Amino acid sequence: MHSSFAAASALALSTVLAAPAVAQQQVRPPIAHYWMSVETAAGMAGMGGMGAMMGRMMGAPGMESGKRMVLQLGSSQAAAGAPRAQHDVPPALGMGPMLPLLTPQAARPERAPRDLPEGMERPRGRMLIFWGCGETARPGQPVVIDFAKVAQGQMPAGLSARRVAAGSPPAPGRSRTYGDWPNREDSRPVPEAASLRGDHVVKGTYSPEIRFALGERHDFMAQVELAPAQPTPGGAMKVQWRAVPNATGYFATAMGGNEREEVVFWSSAEVQEMGGALMDYVPPAEVARLIREKVVMAPQTTECTVPAEVIKAAQAPFFNFIAYGDELNLVHPPRPADTKQAWEQQWAVKVRLKSTAAALLAEGMGDEARAPRRGRGEPQSPGPQAPPQQGEAPAPGSPVDEGARILRGILKF
């Protein structure tokens, strides 16, 4: 019996070894990669024109509302003559017939950093890390990072930050020839009513011609509508928002500081997560994975409460919010069905979307949005806050003044 089994096994093995190997299709990477990074920003909810002013003072344009795009073209080919490229845009964008993709000037090499002088003062202060939506912080929080100990190479145990497979956009160092927009020759703002729907053509002296069309699902996302943050009896802050159409998930962080030289950080993840890579574009498949891992909020979620311990420690922290959008990936030509035929890709296009907002979590911030609209009896539903009327200034001692004072103290501007 054993000899029969051995003979059968040997016959099966010889059959497998004798079978011809399945030829893998030869795939040649695209000559050109083109990325469109498309953002809708709601700015600083409840702060009107002060949000834009703070954004300019801090060099943080994310505090200003509006539509934004970053266009990046990278090619493995050298330019035929001077490198030139352009994106012919649809009329619905409202920015003329085309946007120039400019090749950046070569940057000067950076000098090697000098050694730190002897006797330099040891870093002071701490970072307190919280996470999770709820009235109170979970057991085991906060995780404390002592900056002086970190400078000595001592890192606290258990810090967690997940990797996100988001890919890297074209860049001068990754491409033989490269061009982008906005640039030093054209940095016009995107109009408020702009739309990406329609036919797009990208062409230049170093790239194959790229033709594609965008529809509603890959247009600018709707603006995030944060309602004014509501303090709870226990000292927490409840933040609510309207569901964003076509959003694949949400994530939020809050950060602030205090007079004890402590930086306070919180994220909406249900598990410990620093979230450094999550306040940016994240592909839908990664968002779905992070929802399963309880890091990202599901797209049906419409509220999150920042725990009282965070609000008390951070003194009016800044709340940052992102709604992840869909992603379009195109490759030309399509993959041949015949595996014997090589797939010689000419170009690949990625269109990625997000919608963002920010708010200052101070009691009374954005109270004007809670007043009923003129001619209506019911309270106004959560939505973007209207800026103050011309000539109108916040009253002395208002939450706007107090929030700006705390911000200046933390960031020293």
pLDDT tens digits for range 37-67: 999 999 875 444 444 444 443 344 446 799 9
Bridge partners for 356 per DSSP: 41, 322
CA distance 347 to 363: 51
Of 156 and 8, more confident: 156
Q: Is the pLDDT of residue 395 over 70?
A: no
Rg (CA), the chain: 26
List pLDDT tens digits, range 323-349: 999 999 999 999 999 999 999 999 999
pLDDT of residue 307: 97
Structural domain includes residue 387: no
Q: Is the pLDDT of residue 134 over 80?
A: yes
CA dist 86 to 174, 180, 186, 205, Å? 20, 9, 12, 10
Structural domain includes residue 245: yes
Contact 351, 36 (CB under 8 A): yes
Least reliable range by pLDDT among 153-157, 299-303, 374-378: 374-378
Bridge partners for 134 per DSSP: none
Residue type for position 255? M
At 54, is the secondary structure helix, strand, or coil? helix
Most confident of the following: 137-146, 151-160, 357-366: 137-146
pLDDT of residue 400: 35
List pLDDT tens digits, range 85-130: 999 999 999 999 999 999 998 755 555 555 545 555 556 788 899 9
pLDDT of residue 260: 85
Q: Is the pLDDT of residue 70 over 60?
A: yes
**Beta-sheet pairing, 249-257 with 262-267:** antiparallel
| Phi, psi of 273, deg, nearest 5 | -160, 125
Q: What is the percent of the chain where pLDDT is above 70?
A: 70
List pLDDT tens digits, range 239-285: 999 999 999 999 999 999 888 888 999 999 999 887 778 999 999 99
pLDDT of residue 261: 85
pLDDT of residue 10: 54
Q: What is the percent of the chain where pLDDT is above 90?
A: 60
Q: 52: Cβ–Cβ under 8 A, 6 or more apart, which residues?
A: 43, 44, 63, 64, 65
pLDDT-derived band of residue 204, with 50, 70 and 90 as boundaries? very high
Structural domain includes residue 341: yes
Structural domain includes residue 377: no
Q: How many domains does the chain have?
A: 1
Contact 367, 341 (CB under 8 A): no
In angstroms, the first-to-last Cα distance of the chain is 87
Structural domain includes residue 114: no
Instruction: Tell me 374's DSSP state.
Output: T
CA distance 155 to 229: 34
Domain interval for residue 156: 26-103+122-365+397-411
Query: What's the mean pLDDT when you consider all of the chain?
Result: 80
Q: Give the position of tokens 């995030």.
A: 224
Of 1 and 148, more confident: 148
Structural domain includes residue 386: no
Structural domain includes residue 113: no
Of 68 and 15, more confident: 68
Contact 161, 276 (CB under 8 A): yes
Q: Is the pLDDT of residue 304 over 90?
A: yes
Residue type for position 53? M
Structural domain includes residue 373: no
pLDDT of residue 48: 45
